[in-house]
Structure 1
Amino acid sequence: MQTLDDVMVLKADSHGAAPGLFKEQCIDLEQTPFLNWSWRITNHLEGLNEQSKAGDDYAVRIYVVVKGGLAFWQTKAINYVWANNTAKGRVWPNAFAGDHAMMMARGCK
């Protein structure tokens, strides 16, 4: 954690790898149905077809998972991604997981 423009932020650097941070918790969506965040990207990934396996790479993503309990095959996820080549708000199935993990473009350059 560090301060940027007087705001506490999480900074991640990647060089040929994918850093990650996760937090597992149970959330009552009746009580807290919102997820709020902001992000700042310094390096954009250019020229990717983000709906393909070869282009499934993002400067940043937020991965929200709903567990399927003992039926792990019923686990669902949505990935909010910083997409350079896909219009903001567009939704598509993950190239590797199909419709079990949907992608949504939230940021763009």
Structure 2
Amino acid sequence: MRITARFLALLALFSLSGSVLSEQGPALTPFSEMQSLGDGWEPLEFPKIDQLTRYELVTEDGIQVIKATTSGTASGLIARVNIPPSESLVLRWRWKVSNVFEQGDARKKSGDDYPARIYVAFKFQPEKAGFFERAKRTTVEVLFGESLPGNALNYIWANTLPKGEFAPNPYTDKTMMVAVNSGAGQVGEWVTVERDIMADYRKAFGEAPPPVVGIAIMSDSDNTGETATAWYGDIVLNP
């Protein structure tokens, strides 16, 4: 995805406007229980990108999931949250893809597309940012009236990045890509993933994590122009 569109989208859509919490711990509206795509999630659309990924609720193997179809498109669905940091916080989900992108490469801007990915965005920490970083954010926030997130983890179904490897996003080192699946070996199969996002943040950025402010799903192919379908099952947070 192009850097301007990515930056403005995160600006507009990861701003803090609410929280999703329960007595049992952090909670996200399960896709299997949604009556519509607007139940606890909202569109994640990008300025200057007119071709949007199609998301729909479908029944797969008797369970309602979200189906995403991308063909030279980019958009997502986001849940805004406000989850305090803890020693451990496990994000668990299952997904399936129809194929990986032949031109996909997490280390190159031209290959920064994925049939399936999950964003986890963390609150910005101004006390740890340099002068120019703070000035840039202040300017954008004045112009657009929103607060920018800070660092982010991207859990991706990669093409060439080996499974388990961390790599900085080719557009910004504020986002770390984490290959939780890689290659075509499990294409067409449901795969369950569990990640301790607190531990991953510490490994990725070398510091204690701040609060989580947004979680999003996205299937995008606007750089490669390729086509893929992904299915997302329930996403669960367990402290």
TM-score normalised by L of structure 2: 0.42
Deviations 1:68-109 (Å, cap 9, x if unpaired)? 1675577110000000111110001000012x1000001122
Q: Is the 8 A contact 1:58 1:82 kept in 2?
A: yes
Find the partner of 1:85 among 137, 160, 170: 160
Shift of 1:29: 4.0
The equivalent of 1:17 in structure 2 is: 73
Q: Tell me how large the CA RMSD over aligned residues is.
A: 2.2
> 2 CA distance for matches of 1:20 and 1:79?
13
User: Conserved in 1, the CA contact under 8 Å of 2:106 and 2:169?
Assistant: no
TM-score (norm 1): 0.86
Q: 1:57 to 1:68 in 2, by over 3 A?
A: same
Give the gaps of 5 or more residues in structure 1.
none
1:31-83 Cα deviation digits (max 9, x unpaired): 97111111100132013332111111111110100021675577110000000
In structure 2, relative to structure 1, the CA distance for the partners of 1:6 and 1:32 (3 Å cut) is farther
Q: Structure 1 runs of 4+ off > 4 angstroms?
A: 69-74
* Structure 2, gaps ≥5 residues long: 1-56, 127-133, 138-147, 185-239
Higher fraction of strand: 2
